[in-house]
């Protein structure tokens, strides 16, 4: 079957975006040698290197996926759908946060509207592309173009489970960045710093990678562990939201991290925290619902 024009256009856009991401990664590395040493916050070099490595890896993966789209590989369609879903969710949250994020005090008041419009445009364009991909790659003609006459192992796995699995894997990888950047950790009102924070992130990374790999393989034990872990996450979010002492410790930690920056910008951390907590709770509850709803898929995989 011939390749739909929408798939070709999507592959081109993905390649352009990946190349642009590589350019941003190169600029991030260059900034380490341009900015004066005193202007850099603590651990900025480690954080920049880890972030740049992730950007470069994502860019290379994007180019690889684009090649798969040109060749009508089924895994490429699944990958682009997952990426579009993550992008849409991230842009929606970023647009909400941008409405409450303060403008630096040294910026003229007349330029505030222009800056906010630029932020809306900067997040709105990727959101529009993500919505386009979610629609394009779910049409019947596109599905037919990517249909393979030979069923693969992943044919039993629902797309929602694939998304949850890769979200866990990305979460585990991000913990490595937090370890390299020596960031503090927070759990049940307790703040971990130094090597204890590293151990915390290492355990979290191992658990996330285990769940992610297990869900990709449709293992029932991984599904149960994932439901339990996500349930605990909702309990933790509820404690931060509704228990004042726990919430205050979280806000104090955020202020301490902010003050380590060279030019901290004061803003309503409580409001931003509420937005992030609500968004995370909704996503986590949705993941639990999909894990429960798709239990028959795990049973079929273990008892073919």
Q: Which long-range contacts (CB under 8 A, 24 or more apart) does 38-47 make?
A: 39/262, 40/262, 41/260, 41/261, 41/262, 42/260, 43/181, 43/182, 43/183, 46/180, 46/181, 46/182, 47/177, 47/180, 47/181
For 188-241, how does the pLDDT look when each residue is reduced to its tens digit (9 = 90+)?
777 888 888 888 888 898 999 999 889 888 889 999 999 999 999 988 888 888
Same domain, 143 and 178: no
Phi, psi of 48 (to 5 degrees): -65, -40
When pLDDT is cut at 50, 70 and 90, the band that residue 267 belongs to is: very low
Q: Could you tell me the residue range of the domain that residue 215 belongs to? A: 151-304
Q: Is residue 13 domain-shared with residue 90, that is, in the same domain?
A: yes
- State the Cα–Cα distance between residues 93 and 100, nearest whole angstrom: 12
Of the residues 112, 132, 150, which one is the last residue of a structural domain?
Answer: 150
SS3 of residue 84 by DSSP: helix
Nearest Cα residue to 87 out of 24, 141, 21: 21
Enter the pTM of the model: 0.59
- The last residue of one of the domains, among 87, 121, 150, is 150
Mean pLDDT of all residues in 25-46: 57
Distance in angstroms (rounded) separating the CA atoms of residues 173 and 239: 26
- pLDDT score, position 122: 78
Same structural domain for residues 121 and 167? Answer: no
């Amino acid at each position: 079957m011939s390749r739909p024009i929408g798939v070709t256009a999507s592959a081109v856009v993905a390649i352009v975006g990946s190349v642009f991401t590589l350019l941003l990664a190169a600029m991030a590395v260059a900034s380490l040698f341009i900015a004066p040493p005193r202007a850099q916050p603590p651990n900025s070099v480690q954080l920049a290197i880890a972030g740049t490595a992730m950007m470069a890896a994502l860019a290379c993966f994007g180019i690889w996926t684009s090649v798969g789209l040109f060749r009508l590989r089924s895994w490429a369609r699944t990958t682009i759908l997952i990426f579009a879903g993550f992008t849409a969710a991230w842009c929606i949250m970023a647009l909400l946060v941008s409405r409450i994020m303060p403008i630096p005090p040294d910026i003229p008041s007349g330029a505030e509207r222009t800056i906010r419009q630029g932020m809306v445009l900067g997040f709105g364009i990727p959101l529009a592309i993500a919505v386009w991909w979610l629609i394009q790659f779910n049409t019947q003609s596109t599905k037919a173009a990517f249909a393979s006459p030979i069923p693969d192992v992943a044919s039993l796995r629902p797309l929602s489970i694939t998304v949850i699995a890769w979200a866990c894997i990305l979460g585990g990888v991000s913990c490595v960045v937090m370890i390299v950047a020596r960031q503090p950790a927070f759990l049940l009102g307790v703040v971990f710093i130094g090597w204890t924070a590293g151990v915390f992130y290492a355990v979290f990374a191992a658990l996330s990678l285990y769940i992610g790999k297990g869900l990709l393989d449709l293992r029932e034990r991984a599904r149960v562990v994932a439901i339990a872990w996500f349930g605990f996450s909702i309990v933790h979010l509820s404690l931060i939201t509704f228990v004042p002492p726990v919430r205050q410790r979280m806000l104090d930690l955020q202020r301490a991290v902010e003050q380590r920056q060279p030019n901290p910008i004061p803003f309503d951390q409580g409001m931003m925290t509420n937005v992030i907590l609500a968004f995370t709770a909704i996503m986590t509850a949705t993941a639990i619902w999909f894990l429960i709803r798709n239990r028959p898929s795990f049973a079929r995989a273990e008892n073919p």
